[in-house]
Amino acid sequence: MSSVEEAIRTKRAVRRFTDQPIPEDAIHAILNAGRRAQSSKNTQPWSFVAVRDKGTLKQLAETGDFAGHLAGAALGVALVAPDSADRREWILFDLGQAAAYMQLAAWELGIGSCIATIYQPERAGAILGLPDGMRCDVALSFGYPATDQTRPGVVRPGGRRPFEEVVHWEQW
C-alpha cells in the first residue's frame, strides 16, 4: 500500500484474524503511530497497554458486548487515560485520534483491526492492573485478516454515506 489515500479508502473493520503473530517491529510501528497522534492542547492523555497473552485477551473480550473479536486477536491494545469527569469528551476525542492512527498504520502493513468499546471499564481496569485514577473505555484488536469476515446474525451495512450528503459548502 503506497498512500494515505489508499489506506483510508480501503480500510475496513477486521474482526476475525489468522493465528499468525505480528512481528515486533510492526507492533512497535503501530504503537508508535498512536503515540504520534494529535491531541487537544497536545495533552497526549493516552497510555497503551499492549496485550499478547491469549488469556488476558479472552478476559478483555468479555468486558464489552461487542468486544468478542479481542479474543482472537494477535495483539490487543487497551487505550488508557485519566478518569477525568470534566475532560471526558476531549479525552475520548483524543483517544479516537490515536486509535485511527494506529489502525491506519496497521492497515498499511497488511494488519487488520477493530475497535472494542469496553462496557465494563472497572473490570477491564482490574484485568489490566491499571492504577487508581486510570480508565480504559476502548481497546483495539489487531491481527492478520482471516479470509472469512462474516459475522453470523449481523447484517453488515457496508460503504459510507455519499459525499454530497455529508458535505455542506459555506453554510448548511
Interface residues toward ligand FMN, by CB under 6 A: 12-13, 15, 64, 66-67, 69, 114-117
CB of 50 to ligand FMN, least distance (A): 19
Q: Pick the closer one to ligand FMN by CB: 99 or 171.
A: 99
- Give the Cα separation of 119 and 138 in Å (integer): 9
CB of 95 to ligand FMN, least distance (A): 9
- Give the Cα separation of 24 and 33 in Å (integer): 14
The pairing of strands 75-82 and 112-117 is unpaired
CB of 15 to ligand FMN, least distance (A): 6
Q: Pick the closer one to ligand FMN by CB: 47 or 97.
A: 97
Burial class (CB in 10 A: 0-12, 13-18, 19+), 157: exposed
98 contacts 37 by C-beta, under 8 angstroms:
yes
Q: Pick the closer one to ligand FMN by CB: 107 or 125.
A: 107
- Give the Cα separation of 136 and 79 in Å (integer): 6
CB of 170 to ligand FMN, least distance (A): 28
Q: Pick the closer one to ligand FMN by CB: 23 or 149.
A: 149
Q: Which three cell numbers stand for residue 42?
A: 497536545
